[in-house]
Amino acid sequence: MKIIHVISGGFKGEGLKKESFYKMDLTEWRYVREMRKCTDKYPLECWWTHSKTSEPLSAKEDGILYRAFPAYSFKFPYRYISVPLYKALERECRRNHTLIYLHGIRGKWTTLLPLFLRNTPMVIQQHMEGIQYSKKKLLKRPWFLPFYFLEWKALRRISHFFLLYEEAKQELSRWIDPARISLMSCGVDFELFRPIDKLEAKKALGLDPASRYILFVGRINERKGIKHLLEALPGVLKDYPNTRILAVGPARREALLEELYALMDTLDIRDRVSFLGFIPNDILPLYYNASDVFVLPTLTEGFGVVFLEAAACNCPIVGTAVGGVVDIMKNLPRGIPIPPKAPDAISHAIKKVFERPEFYGELRDNAMCYSWQQLMEKAVHVLEELEDKYFVKRAYL
C-alpha cells in the first residue's frame, strides 16, 4: 500500500527554486517526515499545490517522493484548486493500492475528494480549531451553504479522522461513528527543545540576568490575545518590578501594532515589552529556557504546540483554556489554565509561577507523551488496520 499525503493549502512560492521547492518546514511536512522515521513499511509521498509553477515538480529525499502541482486560485468557492493533482491522484488510485492522507478538515477543496475517488481509504488530519462552520459564519456567508453540505457528505466517507483535541472529537461523534475517530496532535522534537541553564540562555541572547521574563510565542494578532497579556503586566510589576515581556512572532497588520504601542503608552510599559518578530526554530529553545514563564492568552486554538515546546524546556506555562489547550493542561497538570480575556487572571497566574518556579517548571516528563515517535506509531497502527480492511482481506475474497 502506498500512502499519499495531500496538503490542502496552496503556496504562492515567492522565490521558487525548482531544486529545493520541497524544503519547507511547515507542520504538515513534519507529519510526513516523522512518519517516514517511524516506519519504512510503506512507499510515502507528499503532494500539494504551488501557484508559481506551470508544470508538476517532483523530487525524492530521505525515502519520500515530493510532488507539487500547478494550482488555480479562485475567490469562490475554494482557492488553489488543482485539476492536475486530482487527475494524478485518480490514476494512482486505479494503478496501486493507495491510501490518501488529507491535511485540513474544512474549507478546502481536497475535503471533497471522497465524493470522486471511490473505494479508496482516506484519513483526514485536523490542523485548525473547530471541525465545522459556525452558524454565525454561515449566516455571514450564505453562498457557502451548498458547499457546507457537500463537505459533510464527503466527510461521512472518510475512513478515519485524526483530531487535535477531545472537544472536537465529541463534536464530530454526533455525526460520525466514534470508532472512526482518534486523537492525534502534532508532536515536539524533544532533542531540539530541551532544558538549558537559564543564565547561559540569557547570556546567549544578551538578556539582563537580573530581570524576569514573560515569553509570548505566536502571531501578533487579536486572536492570540497579546493585548490581554499587555494589560496584565502592570499587575505583575507591582510585586515584581524587574519583569519584562518578550513577544516572538510575526505581525501582519501595522494598524494593530500601532494600537498595541498606544496601549503600552497608556499603561506606561512600553520600555518593558520587546516585539522580536519571527525567530527560527533552532533559536527558540534559548528563549524558552531564558524565560521564567510562557504565556499565551489565546482566544481560540486548534492545539498549541508552543505550550509543549515550552514544557519540553521545563518553562512554566500559562494558557487560556480553549480548544486543544484544555487537553494539554490535563496532561500537564502543573500548567496553569486561565479564562479568556482576563488580565487579572493572567497577572495572578504569572505571580504564582514567580513564587514557586521549581514546582511549575517540572513539565518535561509529562510532555513526553507528545513525542513524534509515539504519535506516529499510533497513526501507523490505524493505517495498518485500514490496509487490512481495504486491501488484504479483499485479496482473499
Per-run averaged pLDDT (10 residues), the chain, 397 residues: 88 67 86 96 94 87 94 78 94 95 90 92 90 77 86 94 94 94 94 97 97 97 96 98 97 90 97 96 97 97 95 98 94 96 98 96 95 96 95 61
On whether the CB atoms of residues 278 and 247 are closer than 8 A, the answer is no
pLDDT in tens, 269-319: 999 999 999 999 999 999 999 999 999 999 999 899 999 999 999 999 999
Q: Do 372 and 36 contact (CB within 8 A), yes or no?
A: no
Same domain as 94, residue 220 = no
Q: What is the pTM of this model?
A: 0.91
Phi-psi region of 268 (alpha: psi -120 to 50; beta: other; left: phi over 0): left
What pLDDT is recorded for position 16? Answer: 66
Residue of 246, 198, 251 whose CA lies nearest to 224: 251
- 248 and 333 in a single domain? The answer is yes
In a domain, 33, yes or no: yes
Examine residue 25 and state whether it is found in any structural domain, yes or no: yes
List the Cα angle 131/139/149 in 5-degree steps: 50
Say yes or no: 169 and 252 in one domain.
no
Q: Which residues contact 295 (CB under 8 A, 6 or more apart)?
A: 214, 215, 216, 229, 317, 318, 319, 346, 349, 350
Q: Which three cell numbers stand for residue 9?
A: 493549502
Are 38 and 153 members of one domain?
A: yes
Q: What pLDDT was estimated at residue 191?
A: 96
pLDDT at site 316: 98
For 194, 246, 313, the CA distances from 211, given in Å and listed in that order, are 22, 12, 19
**Residue 192 falls inside a structural domain:** no
Domain count, the chain: 2
Range of the domain at 155: 2-187+372-395
In a domain, 129, yes or no: yes
pLDDT for the residue numbered 397: 47
Calculate the average pLDDT of the chain. Answer: 92
**CATH for 227:** 3.40.50.2000
Query: Residue 365, Cβ neighbours under 10 Å: how many?
Result: 10
